[in-house]
């Protein structure tokens, strides 16, 4: 039976994925001074495509049929589906720049929104792995003027800090809502005004963009270079993510970047938070996101201990399958199964990134015209690929 978007909850509860457990933390020690570069393991940056030949023609036909309907309903964006390390479906629908009639293609970088947090989290764990920071240390150890004691780096990563969201309190103290500001400005306002903390640290989970703004600053302090430069040198470039970058409002977007549109094709202008990084601000493509996904299987950037640490759920105050690790959302089930993912929404960009690790299946959807239906696509895609794959012999594990 093929799933529809309305069956999302049932769909996810039925998936058989990897075991859900909380791994032990690696010992890490803070090293004073500059960042000591570690040799990078070369990654395979060439994407491998599986045309599926006659075995999978039904999969492609069904996916194309599904997306014809999505486009008719307003979808404008890019889609890539990976399976066992190979790209099995890749499509580009609509415009990168509607005014100039420039279509989306493989090089059309789109704002990832909160999927950017997966990169920030990985960068922190990279520094932790190489003994440049210790995620169990308090934030005050790195950001000296940080006004809240008893908040650790790990609490920022897992959204257990209790800090208020800067997108809500900054406008109270900074009246210019249109001009982009920086992470340093957010921290300056935080130090000066000390907005009220929402709950005692590490007592519960609450998703908060401020956490990852601070993590971006910690990356800069530990490495001695800017967040954008660190991400390029240690995350993007080693993986061949040549169309991925951190947005700088002062420089503007490159010609091939996708414009952010509202549902009615009106452009979304920059505002104060567009100069802030760590929580959002990374632009990428579906191909580059597949390279990012595969780097975790290949252990290109992080070792197994760091990866398992990032996948470990951290919050158990509320019943249910939803949880958050260190930079990743996840769904953990009573039988031990798990889904690793992250969605994003910033201006007109809706994004979805699902990683079904046991099956090495990846679903990436990047939209640049506001469309909340993007968040409903993953279960339908899974149903089509797995159902048709089994019928046509593509899935030889049954």
pLDDT 10s digits, 278-304 = 999 999 999 999 999 999 999 999 999
Question: What was the pLDDT predicted at 343?
Answer: 97
Q: What is the CA radius of gyration of the chain?
A: 21
| Chain centroid to CA 125 | 15
Which residues are CB-neighbours of 370 under 8 A, at least 6 positions away?
261, 262, 263, 347, 348, 349, 350
**Averaged confidence pLDDT in the chain:** 87
Instruction: Give the pLDDT of residue 51.
Output: 56
Q: Which residues, in sequence order, are bridge partners of residue 316?
A: none
Are 283 and 110 spatial neighbours (Cβ–Cβ below 8 Å)?
Answer: yes
Residue 3 has pLDDT above 50, yes or no: no
pLDDT at 14 over 90: no
Residue 369 has pLDDT above 90, yes or no: yes
pLDDT in tens, 223-278: 999 999 999 999 999 999 999 999 999 999 999 999 999 999 999 999 999 999 99
Percentage with pLDDT > 70 across the chain: 84
- Model confidence at 45, pLDDT cuts 50, 70, 90, reads low
Write out the two tokens for 55. Answer: 């075995």
- What does the pLDDT read at residue 92? 97
Q: Give me the residues paired with residue 340 across strands.
A: 330, 355
pTM equals 0.87
Domain boundaries, the chain: 17-47+110-356
pLDDT value of residue 376: 95
Nearest to 281 by CA among 332, 339, 220, 231: 231
Average pLDDT over residues 164-185: 97
DSSP-based three-state secondary structure for 386 = helix
Q: Which helix (H) or strand (E) holds 88?
A: strand 86-93
Q: Which residues pair with 82 in a beta bridge?
A: 87, 362
pLDDT at residue 26 tops 50: no
- 192 CB-contact burial (10 Å; exposed 0-12 / middle 13-18 / buried 19+): exposed
Homologous superfamily assigned to 17-47+110-356: DD-peptidase/beta-lactamase superfamily (3.40.710.10)
Helices marked H in the chain — which ranges? Answer: 8-14, 57-72, 116-129, 153-157, 166-173, 183-193, 209-223, 227-230, 286-298, 304-311, 377-392
Dump pLDDT digits (tens) for 324-367: 999 999 988 777 678 899 999 999 999 999 999 888 899 999 99
Listed range (4-13, 229-238, 367-376, 387-396) with the worst mean pLDDT:
4-13
Contacts of 346 (CB under 8 A, 6+ apart): 111, 113, 114, 260, 280
Confidence at residue 28, expressed as pLDDT on a 0 to 100 scale = 32
For residue 253, give the nearest of 238, 231, 236, 268 by alpha carbon: 268
Calpha distance 140→92 (Å, rounded): 45
pLDDT band per the 50, 70, 90 thresholds, residue 48: confident
């Amino acid at each position: 039976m093929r799933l529809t978007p309305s069956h999302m909850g049932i769909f996810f509860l039925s998936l058989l994925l990897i075991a859900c457990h909380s791994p032990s933390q690696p010992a890490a020690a803070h090293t004073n001074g500059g960042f000591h570069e570690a040799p990078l393991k070369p990654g395979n940056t060439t994407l491998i495509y599986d045309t599926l030949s006659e075995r999978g023609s039904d999969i492609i036909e069904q996916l194309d049929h599904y997306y014809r309907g999505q486009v008719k309903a307003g979808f404008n964006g890019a889609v890539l589906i990976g399976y066992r390390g190979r790209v099995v479906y890749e499509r580009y629908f609509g415009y990168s720049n509607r005014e100039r009639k420039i279509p989306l293609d493989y090089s059309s970088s789109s704002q990832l929104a909160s999927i950017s947090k997966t990169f920030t989290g990985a960068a922190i764990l990279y520094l932790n792995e190489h003994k440049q920071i210790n995620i169990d240390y308090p934030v005050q150890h790195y950001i000296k003027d940080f006004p809240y004691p008893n908040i650790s780096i790990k609490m920022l990563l897992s959204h257990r800090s209790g800090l208020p969201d800067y997108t809500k309190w900054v406008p109270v103290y900074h009246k210019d809502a249109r001009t982009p500001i920086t992470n340093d400005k957010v921290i300056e306002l935080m130090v000066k005004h000390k907005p009220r903390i929402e709950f005692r640290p590490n007592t519960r989970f609450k998703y908060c963009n401020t956490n990852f703004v601070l993590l971006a600053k910690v990356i800069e302090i530990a490495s001695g270079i800017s967040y954008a430069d660190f991400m390029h040198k240690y995350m993007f470039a080693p993986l061949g993510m040549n169309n991925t970058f951190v947005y700088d409002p002062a420089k503007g977007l490159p010609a091939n970047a996708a414009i952010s549109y509202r549902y009615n094709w009106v452009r979304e202008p920059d505002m104060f938070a567009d100069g802030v990084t760590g929580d959002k601000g990374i632009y990428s493509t579906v191909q580059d996101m597949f390279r990012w996904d595969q780097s975790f299987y290949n252990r290109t950037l992080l070792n197994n201990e760091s990866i398992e640490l990032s996948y470990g759920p951290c919050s158990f105050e509320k019943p249910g399958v939803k949880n958050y690790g260190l930079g990743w959302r996840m769904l953990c089930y009573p039988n031990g199964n798990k889904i690793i993912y992250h969605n994003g929404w910033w201006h007109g960009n809706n994004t979805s990134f699902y990683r079904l690790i046991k099956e090495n299946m990846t679903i990436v959807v990047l939209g640049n015209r506001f469309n909340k239906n993007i968040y409903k696509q993953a279960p339908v895609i899974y149903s089509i690929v797995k159902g048709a794959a089994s019928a046509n012999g593509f899935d030889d594990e049954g």
